[in-house]
Structure formats: structure tokens, C-alpha cells
A and B are shown apart, each in its own frame.
Chain A
Amino acid sequence: MTQPHPDTQWPRWEIFKQDNEKRPYQGVGSVHAGDPDHALLTARNVFVRRPAAVSLWAVREDDILNATPEEVGTHPEVLDTPGEADTYHVGIKKTHKRSMTFVDLVESVEATGPGDALRQAREQHADALAWLVFPDSAIARTDDDPGTVESWFAPAKEKTYKQQQYYGVIGKHVGELKREGRMPRRATEEPHAGDHKVYDHPHDASPAELKTHEVQKPEVQK
């Protein structure tokens, strides 16, 4: 898997997405992209095909340090990872429950380097399942002016055809068309299992007919 070959798929950038102003940025995955601007545009296409987002951060994987409690236990030297002094953003993983996001970014700390930031994260969030830190200077951010937010993130809300709810209940659409008289009433072949007809065709009676039938019934009983 690691043999050298000439192809490049570009560097990898971790993407943090904020769903709305009240939510934390969350680690959603990564993209392969050339430079910060390209990474952000790409992240928008990959992670905001559907709502919702108001902001994206992209950070090169080389600029990120993360560790689990087990890792710190077996490799304590990770807490001495050298680097630049900066404001570091701290992400933590809180639960083993099923989730599509990795860490929530919960705070920032002033640190002498990534190892120090990790040490602080570990002290303040001792029960976290994983810690992740990166310097503020490594972040590529989408602009937060209303024009950018509108142009990058609002249109996804209108792409309702990508939502399963758009397709409603199975057969509902057909029912509607039949009520409008635009659908033939029955399929050519009846369902069979072997020689045995297994199922009465549910579309034989249109909803409109059923309704009439139900209304007429009490009258007959009178």
C-alpha cells in the first residue's frame, strides 16, 4: 500500500463544519485539495451537498495532532510534540455512539506547541475518548459575510430532490396520478410465486373508488 509511485492525489485537509451559529465546528472528514482556497471550495462540494452549514474550516492533516487515551498511555512522548506557540483549537470525541462526526471543537487554548496543547486538552477533558489540536494559524476559513454564506450554503436547502422525504411514501405518487386519470389501472402481469398467485394487486382499486365505496356502505346497510 505504501510503495512509491508517481501519481499525486494532492494533500489531505481535515474539514470542520459548523451547522449553525449555535453549534460547535465538527470534524466531518477530509478532502484532497491543492491549496487553502481550493480545499474550502472542495469541502463545500463534498460536505454541503445537503444542508446545513454556515461555515467551514480546512486544516492540512500535517498541522493536526490527535491522540486517544490509550495512545497517550503507550506513547506519552506525544505530549512533547514540538511546534510553534500559538492559539490552539481543541476538539474532543465524547461518545462511542454512532455518529457521522469525529470531534467537536470545544475551545481554544494558548500553548507553546501541539504537545502542550494536547496536554492542556487532556487535563481539561480527562474523560474524552480522543483529543485533537491544531494551531489557529493553520486554519483556512470560509468568509462569514452574508453574501458568502448565502452563495455557499443557502442553495443546498432548496435541493430537496436529494432528500429522501421528497419521494414520499411508496406508491403515493402513483396514487395521485391515478386520481388524476393519468395512469393505466393495472400491470400486465400478476405477481406469482411458482404457479401460485401470491398477492392481489393493490392498485386495482384506486383510492377514489375506495372512498366512494366507504361512503356508500352505510347507506346500503340502512
Chain B
Amino acid sequence: MTQPNSHIAPNETAAQHAAFEARIERGEKIEAGDWMPAEYRRQLIRMISQHAHSEVVGMLPEGEWIASAPTLKRKTILMAKVQDEAGHGQYLYHAAETLGATREGMIDALLTRRAKYSSIFNYPTTSWADVGMIGWLVDGAAIKNQTMLAGASYGPYSRAMVRICSEETFHHKQGKEMIVAYAVGTPAQREMAQDALNRWWWPALMMLGPHDADSPNTGIMSKWGVKLKTNDEVRQEFINEHAPELLEAGLTIPDPDLHQDEQGNWKHGPIDWTEFWAVIKGERGLGAERLATRQAAHDDGAWVREALQAYTDRQRAVAAD
């Protein structure tokens, strides 16, 4: 366990911390104006903005397929889904803004690599079935995490998560519906679905974070009521729901060691974390491309943001006269 005292800043007292922790213990939500430890604020801004950036960068891998969706309906659904991801980024930036972070500052931190985002979005999307598999597995894993965070002690974060969860279920189901259909579809569709599962299964497990023993930030944020379950607990929930459904769909999960234990938990084989860290460090995957794409959108949009601001400033000046 982490030493509790190490989270008390020089200008904070143990009594303040005790009162704060008692509020969380009572199930109260902390609001923006309430007293909170500086470390709570810092960790929340880190988590929430990282989460927001993940939604924003997360638009890219699937967004690439909007142009080539094979029916008008699928194109519409995919647009709505990627649009939701923009919306979720928007809700999350709002939550971080209540803590004093600015949208400008957060975006700058993303583009200058001072802030992270989920490395799952650095994997390439190589076939149309990836859209379905991302919906089923990646969004399925995200929902497990988000459902937990909907109970977080910080009010604005919790509210953003409740709103996101209510929308994210659509993402999960459209993906599942697609893959279940393709798994019994034409030979090419079945192959596509299986290939997508082969590539996304392990990244989906890894996106829920390192094993508990290797997760440095879990301790204090769990005590402060933000991270209510450990990475391994959330991962287990995810596998328990998804493994039987994938098998029911007639697909093969690419893990020869996968089995159910006596308690009925689906246990996965050893995870190759070297790949996870390689993707995070940018040695593998499309991290550089994703950030370059975001940077280009940011740069190309600068004159637009300036123009609207100039228009607004002028209108306000006229109104003030």
C-alpha cells in the first residue's frame, strides 16, 4: 500500500484529508468548488484528459472506414458512432475543465506528447470487420471501465460517465450484431470476422491496463473513490461476458490457454506485455501517424477558430458601445 501521508501537500493538513475521505466514505460526490487534495485534482485531470484524448484519437481508426462502409445504413451508423466519440471527448473535456484545466491546455498537452491516450487506438484497422470487432470488444472493454467510473467520487466525472455509458451501449451492440452476422455469413465474412478477433482480442485485454501489481496509480485513486475496481477485476468482468458470446457466435478466441475455472471465471493465458509497452512507446503501431493526423486537423482548423473568435469579439465590442 501507498503511504497515505505522501499525498498530503505541504499546505494541506491531515484533518482536511480525513474530512475529505470521510465524505467519500459516506458516498458524497465531490463538486468543483469543494476542498480536495491537490493530488486528487492532479490525478483527476490526468485521468480525465487522458480519457478525453482517447475518445478524440479514437475517432480515427474507425473514422477511416466511414468512406468505405458497405451499405448506406452501416455508413450512417458508423458516422453516428464516431460522432458519439467526439461527443464523449467533449463531455470529458468539460469534466476536466471544472477542475481548472483548459481545453487549449489539454489539447496542447496531447499534441506535444505530455499527455497520453489509450494505446488501443494505435492499432491499424485493416478490414471492414474491424469496425464491428472494435465495437464489440474495445467498446465492450471500455464500457466495463466506464460503468465503474460512473460511480466515481468526483461529480462532473461521474456525470460524464453516466451520459457516456448510456450512449456507448449502442456502440457495443452495433458491433456485436455485425460480427455475429458475419460469423455465420459468407466464407469471406467469416474469415474477416475471425481475423479481426485474432488481432483485437489481446489488445482489448491489454487496454484495461497493466496487472494490479504493476499499476502505480491505482492505490490512492481507489482510496479516493475514483477507481472502484482494479484493472484485473475489470478485465475479468470483460472476459466473463465476452468469451462465451464470442464462442457462441462460432469464433475462435486466439488463446489456447483460455478456460473456465471452478468459479466459472474465464481465465486467459499469459499476456505479452512487451507488445503493449512497445505500442505505448511508439516502437510499434501508428502512434506517430495518429498524432500527426490530430496535429494536422488542429493546424488546419486554427484559422477557423481565430475567425470565429474575431467575429465574436467584434460583436461584443459593438454590443458594448
Contact = CB atoms under 8 A, between A and B. Distances in A.
Interface string B287-313: 000000000001000100110110110
B104 A8 contact: yes
Contacts of A10: 305, 308-309, 312
Contacts of A201: 250
Contact of B305 (A7, A162, A174): A7
A161 B77 contact: yes
Dominant SS at the A interface?
A: loop
Interface of B: 27-29, 31-35, 45, 73, 76-77, 80, 83-84, 87, 90-91, 94, 97, 100-109, 150-151, 155-156, 158-160, 162-163, 166-167, 169-170, 172-174, 176-177, 180-181, 183-187, 190-191, 194, 244-253, 255-259, 298, 302, 305-306, 308-309, 311-312, 315
B247 A49 contact: no
A1 B250 contact: no
A44 B230 CA distance: 37
A183 B155 CA distance: 48
Given A7-B302, A187-B190, A29 B253 contact: no
A161 B163 CA distance: 18
7 contacts: A1-B105, A29-B91, A49-B167, A71-B33, A71-B34, A189-B190, A203-B184
Given A161-B73, A163-B170, A130 B31 contact: yes
B209 to A, nearest CB: 23
**Most chain B CB atoms below 10 A, which of A5, A167, A185:** A167
Contacts of A191: 246-247, 250-253
Contacts of B100: 1-2
A194 B185 CA distance: 25
Contacts of A9: 102-104, 107, 305
Contacts of A89: none
A109 to B, nearest CB: 20
A187 B305 contact: no
Interface in A181-222: 183-194, 198-199, 201-203
Given A9-B107, A67-B33, A71-B33, A170 B180 contact: yes
A190 B250 CA distance: 6
Contact of A202 (B107, B248, B259): B248
Given A8-B104, A32-B103, A162-B80, A170 B245 contact: yes
A159 interface: yes
A35 interface: yes
A98 B162 contact: yes
A46 B248 contact: no
Interface string A1-31: 1110101111110000000000000001111
B235 to A, nearest CB: 18
A194 B244 contact: no
B29 A188 contact: no
B102 to A, nearest CB: 7
Contacts of A29: 90-91, 94, 159-160, 163
